[in-house]
Amino acid sequence: MQGMEKEKTGSIPLWEIFMVSLSLLTLLLSAYKSGIGINFDSIMFISCAQNLASGKGLHMYNGAPLLYWPPLYPIMLSVLLITGLHYPEATFLLNLFFFSALTLIFTLYLRKILGKNPLFYPLSLLIFSLPILKIYTRALSEAPFVLFVFLFLVLAERYKLQPRGGSLRLLSAVSVLSSLSRYIGAFTFPIVSALIWMKEGKKTKAFFWGLLSTLPLALWFLRNYLISHTLAGRREVVSKPLWDKLYKIFHLLLYRWFSPVEPLAPLFFLLWILILGAAIYRAFSSRAVKEKLIVPILLLSSYFFFLLLSFLYSEFPQKAFPRFLAPLFPVFLILLALSLREISTTQGLKRAVLIFVLLFTLSHLYVSTKEVLKYFQSGITPASNLKNSALITYIKRHSLPGPIFCNSPPVLYLYTGRSSLFIPRRGRSLSPLKKRGRTLIWFKNLGERKRYSLREIRWRVKLLKVFSCRKGKIFLIEN
């Protein structure tokens, strides 16, 4: 019997191997058509990494210094570019590493929480839900950030149980990496100090480690200020009220987190609120339960507080909101797992909870599977599908009179190396376009809504079409 027990203990973690393999398969299928997804931010990171790899420093495609984002993701990408890889392979490998690492760590940590509880298997599959899939199928700095946030949770729990120097140093290091991936990663600084204060009761030590964690980001802000007299680049002035942003966040949580299948979302939302409420109620009556919930709740609260602060001081496009929330999704799943474990111990509820979780997981997997199949057939983003298009081929082979105006200059630069000017914003003069002999390149399904549309330009500017295909058009300006 003892020999059998040893064999079982030392067996290969087949489920973990399956989960990591599934993450690889998911990315391979998603990137099959046209590689990892590319958007405006992606091109900023890629061009910055290319310049860094060629010795030109942390500058973007237009020569502007990197200010709007921290430097960690472009630096990591540049390391792969230096080895001779091109950006499509480099972004894929980087995302594959972070996605596989997140999947493995999440699965192992969930197993530690749930053990042999049958809830472990459906809950572990939720790491392939749409909020996470949308991050790891695109070249974004959230790819490492989501991993670092979850690692921070794991290490915070470890430090809470064993407040030793090694655990604290690791926790502080991951806190630094988080802040150098996304500025909002600074939300981890007060948590480091709070945990030291709670576990060791040393205010001076808590202040020192919190301050030490901020030092790399403070140096980056100093560099930015010396270059531009701003800490993180000039931001758009807040134009929409806070309640409007909060409503959009609630809508995302309802239809992306609690249930991606719209008709079921209100029902799932109500049930999850009841489950979380019951778990929190039990936490107040049980010190053991309270200890287990405190770190995930502290992390979620601190992140949302920093997110609200950023909303008060800067305007963000609505399409960026899912990215802002994605780092919390694995933490949210852990909180759900802890809550479900407490609820499922109640007599008579175990089977009902399992059926509910299976339905919840199936609804998420149904939507994410449809998304992966769509990527497999049509590509991930409009910009990533342009690389081998007839439009890009034409631009590469023909000389076009300049200056060139474009609805997406970063995309034009990424695929052709040509510089161009943005289409003016609505309300501003179109006089730069109204000069004979200039070129207008228009990519289909790209660009910003705040800028003039092609129809609006045609009303005001005389254009001669010289090339047209499914991906876009090229015009000569005849004014």
Task: Copy the structure tokens of residue 312.
Answer: 């008060």
pLDDT confidence tier of residue 108, bands split at 50, 70 and 90: very high
Cβ contact 29:21 at 8 Å: no
Task: Copy the structure tokens of residue 36.
Answer: 């990892």
Q: Residue 177: pLDDT above 90?
A: yes
Q: Residue 284: pLDDT above 70?
A: no
What is the pLDDT at residue 12? 58
What is the pLDDT at residue 397? 92
Weakest-pLDDT range from 132-141, 276-285, 382-391:
276-285
What b/e readout covers 149-169, taking b as 16+ CB neighbours within 10 angstroms?
bbbbbbbbbbbbeeeeeebbe
pLDDT confidence tier of residue 7, bands split at 50, 70 and 90: very low
The 10s digit of each residue's pLDDT in 9-27 is 445 589 999 999 999 999 9
pLDDT confidence tier of residue 405, bands split at 50, 70 and 90: very high
Work out whether the CA dihedral 193, 245, 132, 141 comes out positive or negative.
negative
Mean pLDDT along residues 79-106: 95
pTM: 0.89
Q: Taking the domains of the chain in order of start, what are their residue ranges? A: 240-344, 388-477
pLDDT confidence tier of residue 347, bands split at 50, 70 and 90: low
271 or 390, greater pLDDT:
390
Mean pLDDT along residues 82-95: 94
pLDDT confidence tier of residue 467, bands split at 50, 70 and 90: very high
Q: Residue 355: pLDDT above 70?
A: yes
Mean pLDDT along residues 426-431: 86
Q: Residue 283: pLDDT above 90?
A: no
Query: Measured in whole angstroms, how far is the alpha carbon of residue 266 from the centre of its chain?
Result: 25
